Amino acid sequence: MEVVIVKDAKAGGELIADGIAGLLRRKPDALLGVATGSTPLPIYDALTARVRDGSVDASRARIAQLDEYVGLPAGHPESYRSTVLRQVVEPLGLSADQFMGPDGSAEDVQAACEAYDKALAEAGGVDLQILGIGTDGHIGFNEPCSSLASRTRIKTLTEQTRVDNARFFDDIEQVPHHVITQGIGTILEARHLVLLATGEGKAEAVAQTVEGPVAALVPASALQLHPHATVVVDEAAASKLK
Ligand code: F6R
């Protein structure tokens, strides 16, 4: 695992956007796995700026969602499908058919999970997966105690994560209780994992991820098992590293 400490979130976004630019030069139709939440926004902004100034050609890139709420009506602005369309797909000038994600409104959610794992494999697998990290060490919505071998499946959010995500909704009652998330085993199949963590609130989770034992209690620690994992942290999020 490579750990890179940068000055701030903007610098982290620029660094990771540079990495994605290099990937797209080598493989123009690369499949990029994207996380939602606040942390990756500087990455998407930096990548969009490069596309707009012509230094990156992302026209053949493909985008894959990491997770999705269960039960939000189609088109709900806070569904992760809507969010990724708004924050990544549209700014990069891609069309909806260059974008894939699990169906959080499916009647048979289990079948939708299996279909998504299959679709990822059929698409050739994720080339670069962008990850954030929860204050409790979750990646995607693999909360503490998730199996490190897990596949895409339905999960119940912890109260902490619902509280953390309530800022995107009018009130906490609107935050769904269930999500579909790529499993940790699914995430580990991506060729390159890039986790960005910023702010002091993530410092403890980062320390556990990088320096603690590999443990289901800290799902992000599974990155230690991956042959090509990069953890980019700002100085605040690095503050508890030894
Ligand atoms: C969401 C996801 C989550 C977030 C995590 C951190 O797609 O993958 O694991 O990355 O909850 O969220 P922020 O970045 O908002 O602190």
ipTM score of the complex? 0.99
Q: Whose CA is nearest to atom 3 of ligand 1?
A: 140
What is the CATH class of 2-234? alpha beta
**How confident is the model over 40-68, as pLDDT tens digits?**
999 999 999 999 999 999 999 999 999 99
138 lines ligand 1 (CB under 6 A): yes
Q: What is the pTM of this model?
A: 0.97
Is the C-beta atom of 42 inside 6 A of ligand 1? no
CA 124 / ligand 1 centre spacing (Å): 25
Sheet holding 2-6, edge to edge: 2-6, 229-234, 192-197, 128-131, 31-34, 62-65, 99-100
**What was the pLDDT predicted at 160?**
87
Separation of CA 196 and ligand 1 centre (Å)? 10
- The verdict on the CB of residue 136 being under 6 Å from ligand 1 is no
Do residues 137 and 44 make contact, with C-beta atoms less than 8 angstroms apart? Answer: no
Do the beta carbons of residue 184 and residue 138 sit within 8 Å? no
Residues classed as catalytic:
67, 136, 138, 143
Q: Name which of 88, 45, 38 is nearest 199 in CA terms.
A: 38
How close is the Cα of 195 to the center of ligand 1, in Å?
A: 10
Contact 31, 62 (CB under 8 A): yes
Per-residue model confidence as pLDDT tens digits over 209-238? 999 999 999 999 999 999 999 999 999 999
pLDDT digits (tens, 9 = 90+) for 189-199: 999 999 999 99
Average per-residue pLDDT for the chain: 97
Summarize pLDDT for 102-128 with one digit per residue, the tens. Answer: 999 999 999 999 999 999 999 999 999
Is 66 close to ligand 1, i.e. is its CB under 6 Å away? Answer: yes
Residue 165's nearest CA partner among 148, 193, 143 is 143
